[in-house]
Amino acid sequence: MSETPNVETPTPAPAPGRRMNQGSAGGGNAVYGLGLIGALVYFVQHADGFGGFLLAVLKALVWPAFLVYEAFRAVHG
């Protein structure tokens, strides 16, 4: 009986416009996570009662929207 040679299957080529190595794809998540923690601390410090705490958590989740809104308001008046 003859043995078949150990043949590796070729690695498929990446789709057009995509890179194969995406080792640094995730740095934005860390920045967003730190911003989320900072926003949560800020908004919770200004919260009054349980309803204020829940509102603070919701605001902390969408803090980039507040940032962009304030930036546009500052630019356009």
**Residue range 50-67, pLDDT digits in tens:** 999 999 999 999 988 888
Is 60:66 a contact under the CB 8 Å cutoff? no
- The pLDDT mean for the chain works out to 82
Give the long-range contacts of residues 35-43, CB within 8 A, separation 24 or more: 35/63, 35/64, 36/60, 36/61, 36/63, 39/63
Q: What is the mean pLDDT of residues 43-51?
A: 94
- State the pLDDT confidence band at 1, using cuts at 50, 70 and 90: low
